Chains A and B, each alone.
Chain A
Amino acid sequence: MRANTITKKSFLAGNRYWIMLVAALLFLPPFSFLFQFTGDSSFCGSWCPRMFFVWRKGMTGYEYLFGFLRSYLGVILVLGMLGSTFFFGRYWCSHLCPIGGIMEGGSRMLSKGMKIDYSGIPAPAFRYGYLAVYLIASATGIGSLCCSYCNFATIPRILGAAFSPADMLYFFRAAGLINLGLVIFLGFIARGGRAYCNLLCPVGAIDAITNRLGMRFGKRISIDSEKCNACAACVKVCPTWSIEVKGNKAMIDQFSCMPCRECEKVCAKEAIRYGGPAC
C-alpha cells in the first residue's frame, strides 16, 4: 500500500518483490542460473560468502589466502556487496539476497496470527555476539559455526528438496533439521521474515557495520523529524525492526536498516526518504 508519491517514482522501491524473485531464480533451484554458469551446484564451494574470511586455528597465511581463491566468487560477491552498501545502503540484503528474500517472501504469505514477533530483541547486540563467536571460535579452535549452521546452505536445499534426492538428504541429519528449524522460526514465521538475517547472518552482520560506517558518505534511509508525527506506521512494517519512536519522533538504527523502503511506502507525511548522506 503506497501512501505517498515518493515511492511511485522509484524503480527500486516499487519493484522490490520482482527484483527479489529474479535474484531467487538466479541463485536458487530449480534453475540456479549463476551456479550452472560456473559449474557449481549451490553456494557451497567457490560461491561461499561466509567462510573465506574466517581464520581457523592452525592455518598458515598461505592456507588463509587459498580460502579466498577457493571461494573466489563468494569473495567477489561480498566485496561487491560491501562496496555498494557503503555508498548506497544494504541493497544486497534488501533486494538481492536470495536467502533473505525467500524467507521474507515466505513470511509474507503467512497470516499475521502465525508469526512470532522478535522485535523486542536488540538485534545489533545479539548479532555481534553471534559474529564474535563465529570469528573467535574458529580462530581459537574451540569449534565452528561456519558450515554447521548455514543459511546459504539451507534455503537452496529447501527449494531443491522437492526435485533432488541430494538436496532432500540435507534434512535427513540432525544438523539439517536444526537449520530447517532456524529458518522456519527465524525466517518464515517471524514477523517481517528477517529475524534470521538480523540475528544470525554473519554476512549481514558485516554488511550492517559497513552500512553504519558509510552513513556519512552514502545514501541511506532517513527520517525528516520536522515532518514526522510519530504515527509509528513505519515501525509496524519494518522487517528488520530498525525503527523506533522516541520522544514523539521516529528514529532509524543504521546498524540494522536496509533500504527495503517499506517504511517510505507507508509514511503518509512523506517524512521518510532515501537519499544521502544520512547523519
Chain B
Amino acid sequence: MVRKILFFSIAVCISLAGATYRWTDSAHSIGIIKASGGMARHPSILESGSSLYTLIATATVIPPYRGDARITLEGGPEMDYTIHSSDPVIDLGIRRHPRLKENVLYDLRPKDRIALWVVMKPPAHDLAFTKACCDGIKQEPAKYSGRENTGGRYTLAFYDTKTNRAVLSVPLIFTGRGETDNACEHHH
C-alpha cells in the first residue's frame, strides 16, 4: 500500500509540473473565419528569445463566407515565416478541402476546418546582443524607435482576396524577455 501511495504521489507531482509548465516556443490558436471579420478565441502568447516559433492556427469557416484568403504575418520588425497546411498525406479525394498554395487558402467554404502550421524565424539580431548595443539603445532610445524585435505584437491576418477585407485575425504577443520594458534584452 505504501508503494502505491508513493507512486500515486510521484505521478501527481510529475503531472502537476507538466500541467503548470507552459512551453513558450509554440502556441495554438482557435478561430473563426467570417466575412465580417473573424477573430481567434484569445491571443497567442509566445516568449521572446527563441530562434524558432510555431503557431498552430486552427479555424472554422462560418457561413455564408466562401472564397480565397491570403495569409500574412503583420508586425515589426519583419519575421521570416512559412505556412504549412495539415492535409492528408495521400489524398484519396473522398472529401473536398481547402488548398494552401503560396500563403493563399483556396476554395474556403462554409463549415470547412483548417489547420495551419506557421513557423516564424525572428531576425538574427534578436538573438545576439552586445553590451555596446544595449548601451546604444539606452542612450538614444528615439533612434531605435520602431525597430523593436519580437518583443511585440504581431497578427496573423487572413484577407479575402477579392474584397481585401480581413476574415480572420490571430493576435500574437511576444512577452517575457522581449517585453518593451527591458530594452537591453530585446530592443534593437
Contact = CB atoms under 8 A, between A and B. Distances in A.
Nearest to A149: B18
Contacts of B132: none
A173 interface: yes
20 contacts: A30-B89, A32-B88, A32-B89, A36-B92, A36-B94, A121-B7, A125-B7, A126-B8, A129-B12, A137-B16, A143-B20, A143-B22, A148-B22, A149-B18, A164-B86, A164-B89, A166-B87, A167-B86, A169-B117, A169-B119
Interface string B105-122: 000000011011101000
A213 B111 CA distance: 40
A32 B91 CA distance: 9
A149 to B, nearest CB: 6
Contacts of A172: 52, 54, 119
Contact of B23 (A39, A122, A173): A173
Interface in A117-163: 121-122, 124-130, 132-134, 137-138, 142-145, 147-149, 160, 163
A107 interface: no
A112 B3 CA distance: 27
Interface in B69-91: 84-91
A173 B89 contact: no
A36 B78 CA distance: 36
B18 A145 contact: yes
A41 B88 contact: yes
Interface in A153-204: 160, 163-167, 169-170, 172-176, 178, 199
Given A169-B119, A178-B23, A199-B11, 8 more contacts: A35-B88, A36-B91, A37-B95, A39-B112, A42-B86, A138-B19, A143-B20, A164-B84
A33 interface: yes
B7 A164 contact: no
A54 B28 CA distance: 18
Nearest to B21: A143
B155 interface: no
A81 to B, nearest CB: 23
B28 A41 contact: no
B26 interface: yes
B58 interface: yes
A124 to B, nearest CB: 8
A224 interface: no
